[in-house]
Structure 1
């Protein structure tokens, strides 16, 4: 018998460890176990960064000239050592790809130059960084929890110019009524944190926005999910239960079923409308997550 077409040392190992005679006889779930992880699919459980970088690479390839320019305008994006790829000589990470898409969505309707902005829950500050790097915003006010404010203030001091950083005000949630209430903002925004707050807290923020802002941009999930294959509930059942109780939109859906997601959109648009005298002027899916939606609302009085 000829051996010249035999298995390599690597595949000799694979046929004894993964693609075994016993394993290949069972077709029930071979596409989601070690058999297929050696034939066609990298194991998602141990190759998360590989898939993340593949996602970033693919998204970078789809950026149009306008979004590339927005991205290039944002200096110091590598601070914090993000998972990045290099595309056309430019270092790109997922956070700032999302930021330029969000900025493009907002500015199709609202000119940000000279505007005052109120962001509720800014994370480490990438939206503020992107916005101030691309527009001559008059002022930018961030409201957040104290630990997160410590991070965003340090990060933004590092990545913004001194002149840009002077425009930013940081307010802990405990001081909102004293510092924010009574002030006027052209734009309020929340990205991916209303869904993690107590429902009454979201309602209070929407009332604040209704009374103090002319516009609201919101980007959040349309519902909850319980697909354990996504993260194996690694933080434990108690944290899962906590997550299911937060936000205004708590229906559990199949987040990878486009029709199921679309069915929740009317609830999303209604839930985040700050008040009866507000209109949704733009909405659509939010890159890249299947179950996130974005919307821009305008107070009817601001349309005059």
Structure 2
């Protein structure tokens, strides 16, 4: 009967392989190694999807009624097989959660119905999709690199209806000067791409925005980081070196320190101000990522 309370075959294995006598005797690092990965924490090195889905669930549980409405208005969100969860019967992925938070922030300071919008670097088009699904914008222009225009045009053609898609216009970077010369925009949007451009390119865009836009929304990281524990620099040292040389904000920041991020955000707000006639009318940390900041600027001329 004494054996009734002995370890299971599973924990017999753990006791020989991960939670060994030698391992539990060392208190210096046990909370960041295999011991604690079997006691209280799933190993983050191999449980990325588990943690991503947990993040999506946590954000969904706190989503406002207005943002649930925004999300439900966006049809065909599951195209592309996103990593997603089900919450109250709704399929939810992180991309479109971020999109509704972005649209919420922008719509609080800009009248989007009837607005002409230009987005610099749209990825596959999630923000355009979210905005057109919730607001009757006049037209939406996307500037991007050739391969990304192929992706966004194909994706948006598939997820938008004919009337919505007719409002979307795709422009290669070679057409930037002509586009900003010939059009006036109520809003320019940049999400996570200014930080990956050469600084000269970002400054050139800001100069165009200063001349041709009424508002600018920016959502980008506050700086650079060198925490190899996040991904083991899996893409190689060359990619790390290239990333450190891009963007307007290249200070190395402890992105896991909210006070350090808050302090660096002052540089962020200044760096993206398009011109002397502009002012920042709203700013905040983004919802999902603690080292991303968002700001809305207005031209007061």
TM range (shorter): over 0.9
Structure 1 equivalent of residue 131 of structure 2: 131
Query: Are positions 1:62 and 2:62 aligned together?
Result: yes
| 2:280 counterpart SS class | strand
Q: Distance in 2 between matches of 1:181 and 1:34?
A: 59
Structure 1 residue 180, shift from structure 2 partner: 3.5
| 1:297 counterpart SS class | strand
Query: Are positions 1:120 and 2:129 aligned together?
Result: no
| 1:19 counterpart SS class | coil
Query: Are positions 1:269 and 2:269 aligned together?
Result: yes
Q: Distance in 2 between matches of 1:94 and 1:266?
A: 27
Structure 2 equivalent of residue 183 of structure 1: 183
Structure 2 equivalent of residue 244 of structure 1: 244
Structure 1 equivalent of residue 77 of structure 2: 77
Structure 2 equivalent of residue 102 of structure 1: 102
Q: Distance in 2 between matches of 1:236 and 1:125?
A: 28
Q: Distance in 1 between matches of 2:126 and 2:180?
A: 21
- Could you list the runs of 5+ residues in structure 2 that have no partner in the other structure? none
1:24-63 equivalent positions in 2, closer than 5 A = 24-63=24-63
CA deviation profile, 1:155-194 (whole Å, cap 9, x unmatched): 0000000100000000011221233333101100100110
Structure 2 equivalent of residue 90 of structure 1: 90
| 2:2 counterpart SS class | coil
Query: Are positions 1:13 and 2:5 aligned together?
Result: no
Q: Distance in 2 between matches of 1:247 and 1:219?
A: 13
CA deviation profile, 1:191-224 (whole Å, cap 9, x unmatched): 0110000000000000111111000000001110
TM-score by length of 2: 0.99
Q: Distance in 2 between matches of 1:273 and 1:180?
A: 18
- Count of aligned residue pairs for this structure pair: 301
CA deviation profile, 1:238-269 (whole Å, cap 9, x unmatched): 11010000000000010010110011111101
Structure 1 residue 78, shift from structure 2 partner: 0.2
| 1:140 counterpart SS class | strand
Structure 2 equivalent of residue 207 of structure 1: 207
Q: Distance in 1 between matches of 2:91 and 2:63?
A: 13
Q: Distance in 2 between matches of 1:248 and 1:180?
A: 22
Structure 2 equivalent of residue 227 of structure 1: 227
| 2:85 counterpart SS class | strand
Q: Distance in 2 between matches of 1:230 and 1:47?
A: 12
| 1:263 counterpart SS class | helix
TM-score by length of 1: 0.98
Provide the aligned C-alpha RMSD in A: 0.8
| 2:182 counterpart SS class | coil
CA deviation profile, 1:259-300 (whole Å, cap 9, x unmatched): 100111111011000001001111111111011000000001
Q: Distance in 1 between matches of 2:213 and 2:82?
A: 33
| 1:38 counterpart SS class | helix
